[in-house]
């Protein structure tokens, strides 16, 4: 039986909201705040109390942030966290040669990510590796600090060598599972319905260069790989894009929406829930 059309409401029909979203400054300020928190976490991880339950880094990251991410940001905002995440910031500054928007000398080889690795297997492996040592991470603050230092060093290195946000798209250990959750989120960035072939053609020429997540937004049908960075709203064809609220099941049942690597990631997440429940609750 054919699935009934899902509910969608275009938030960007409100001019004031579209203006707010197309300005880079509000997003930059939020990202600057999360970057300051990120630096604080690294510092307190290295020089704070060595006892996990008394250390800001452990309590903030693995209790406060992790809970907020799983209970609020992912279910209601999908990749909303990725839109203000500080981890890719230094790499982006090098890529665009400026802090807020492209404008300076770029430090980037711009290589394409290897075709065989364009999937979520590496992300799943990274997530599993962090999960495997979670008992150590939760009790030893310096491990949390090193994880964060490692993430930012790898993100910068990947940004210098590869194009756009290849790190987020193919390597970030959180990126894979956030993308999976985002498929059921009630928020999406999509092309306006009813774009003419001419408008789609123009968008296709403009957007692959402009989308940091290496999508063609004019053809975007799924949330998994859209980091809600809002850059497509800021292009000349930005009026053809919309930020919609939608029903939670809007993406379920879409043909071709799920892949083998994503299916394995889902099984891995389910397995980790069962293992953690058994280990931590006896
Ligand atoms: S994919 Fe990872 S590094 Fe990239 S924005 Fe999302 S959480 Fe941050
Ligand atoms: S440019 Fe648009 S389609 Fe690309 S990641 Fe950002 S919000 Fe998503």
CA–CA separation, 22 and 89 (whole Å):
18
Residue nearest to atom 3 of ligand 2 (CA): 217
pLDDT per residue as tens digits for the range 16-34: 999 999 999 999 999 999 9
Higher pLDDT, 196 or 14: 14
Exposed/middle/buried for residue 249 (C-beta within 10 Å: 0-12, 13-18, 19+) = middle
pLDDT score for 31: 96
**Among 77-91, 201-215, 224-238, the least confident range:** 201-215
Which comes out higher in pLDDT, residue 168 or 269? Answer: 168
Q: pLDDT averaged over the chain?
A: 88
Q: How far is CA 6 from the centre of its chain?
A: 24
Ligand closest to Cα of 207 equals: 2
Q: Is the pLDDT of residue 177 over 70?
A: yes
Hey, which of 29-43, 246-260, 264-278 has the most confident mean pLDDT? 29-43
How far away, in angstroms, is 5 Cα from ligand 2 center?
24
Per the CB < 8 A criterion, the answer to whether 154 and 167 are in contact is: yes
| 114 contacts: CB under 8 Å, gap ≥ 6 | none
Decide if 8 is inside a domain.
Answer: no
Mean pLDDT calculated for residue range 5-14: 90
89 occurs within a structural domain: yes
CA of residue 219 to ligand 2 center, whole Å: 11
Among the residue ranges 9-18, 30-39, 254-263, the one predicted with the least confidence is 254-263
* Residue 14 falls inside a structural domain: no
Q: How far is CA 204 from CA 18, 55, 195, 236, 256, in A?
A: 21, 48, 12, 12, 21
Span 155-181, mean pLDDT? Answer: 94
Cβ of 213 less than 6 Å from ligand 2: yes
Pick from 66, 74, 82 the residue to mutate for probing ligand 1's pocket: most ligand atoms within 8 Å of its CB: 82
Q: For residue 5, is it within any domain? A: no
Separation of 49 CA from ligand 2 center, angstroms?
Answer: 40
Could you tell me the distance, in angstroms and rounded to a whole number, from the CA of residue 147 to the centre of ligand 2?
27
Q: Which two tokens stand for residue 246?
A: 């939608």
CB 220 less than 6 A from any atom of ligand 2: yes
Indicate whether 12 belongs to any domain: no
Judge whether residue 262 has pLDDT over 60.
Answer: yes
Q: Averaged over 120-125, what is the pLDDT? A: 91
The total of structural domains in the chain comes to 1
Q: Which residue range forms the structural domain that includes residue 260?
A: 20-276
Q: Which is the closest atom of ligand 2 to the Cα of 233?
A: 2
Domain membership of residue 181 (yes or no) is: yes
Q: Assign 279 a pLDDT band (cuts: 50, 70, 90).
A: low
DSSP-derived secondary structure for the chain: -PPPPPPEEEGGGSHHHHHHHH-HHHHHHHHHHHHHHHHHHHHHHHHS-SSGGG-HHHIIIIIIIHHHIIIIIHHHHTTHHHHH-STTHHHHHHHHTSSSSS-S------BPPPGGG-SSHHHHHHHHHHHHTHHHHHH-HHHHHHHHHHHHHHHHHHHHHBSTTHHHHHT-TTHHHHHHHHTT-SEEEEEPTT--HHHHHHHHHHHHHH-TTS--GGG---STT-----GGGGSTTGGGEEEEEE-TTTTTT-TT---HHHHHHHHHHHHHHHHHHHHH--
> How far away, in angstroms, is 231 Cα from ligand 2 center?
6
> Which of 87, 171, 225 to mutate for ligand 1's pocket (most ligand atoms within 8 Å of CB)?
87
Tens of pLDDT along 97-107?
Answer: 877 777 666 77
- Summarize pLDDT for 212-249 with one digit per residue, the tens: 999 988 889 999 999 999 999 998 888 899 999 999 98
| Nearest CA among 116, 117, 113 for reference residue 126 | 117
ipTM of the complex: 0.98
pLDDT digit string, tens, across residues 67-79: 999 899 999 999 9
Residue 94, C-beta contacts closer than 8 angstroms, at least 6 positions apart: 106, 107, 108, 156, 159, 160
Ligand number nearest to the C-alpha of 38: 1
Paired residues of 191 in beta bridges: 241
215 lines ligand 2 (CB under 6 A): yes
Estimate to the nearest angstrom the gap between the alpha carbon of 153 and the chain centroid: 17
Check residue 236 and give its pLDDT.
84
* pLDDT in the model for residue 228: 96
Which of 27, 88, 126 most suits a substitution to test ligand 1, by most atoms within 8 Å of the C-beta?
88
Whether the pLDDT of residue 119 is over 70: the answer is: yes
């Amino acid at each position: 039986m054919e699935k009934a059309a899902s509910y969608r409401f275009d938030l960007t029909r409100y001019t004031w909201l579209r203006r707010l979203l197309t300005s880079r400054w509000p997003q930059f300020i939020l990202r600057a705040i999360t970057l300051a928190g990120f630096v604080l976490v690294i510092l307190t991880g290295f020089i704070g109390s060595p006892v996990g339950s008394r250390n800001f880094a452990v309590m903030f990251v693995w209790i406060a942030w992790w809970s907020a991410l799983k209970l609020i940001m992912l279910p209601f905002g999908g990749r909303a966290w990725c839109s203000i995440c500080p981890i890719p910031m230094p790499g982006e500054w090098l890529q665009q040669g400026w802090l807020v928007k492209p404008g300076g000398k770029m430090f980037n080889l711009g290589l394409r990510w290897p075709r065989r690795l364009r999937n979520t297997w590496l992300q799943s492996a990274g997530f599993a590796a962090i999960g495997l040592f979670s008992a150590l991470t939760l009790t030893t603050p310096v491990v949390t600090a090193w994880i964060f230092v490692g993430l930012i060093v790898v993100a910068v290195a990947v940004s210098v060598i590869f194009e756009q946000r290849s790190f987020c798209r193919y390597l970030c250990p959180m990126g894979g599972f956030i993308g999976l959750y985002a498929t059921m989120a009630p928020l999406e960035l999509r092309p306006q319905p009813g774009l003419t072939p001419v408008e789609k053609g123009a968008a296709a020429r403009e957007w692959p260069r402009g989308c940091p997540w290496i999508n063609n937004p004019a053809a975007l049908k799924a949330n998994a790989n859209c980091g809600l960075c809002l850059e497509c709203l800021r292009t000349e064809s930005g009026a053809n894009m919309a930020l919609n609220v939608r029903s939670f099941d809007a993406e379920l049942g879409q043909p071709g929406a799920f892949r083998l690597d994503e299916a394995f990631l889902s099984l891995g997440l389910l397995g980790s829930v069962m293992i953690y429940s058994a280990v931590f609750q006896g």
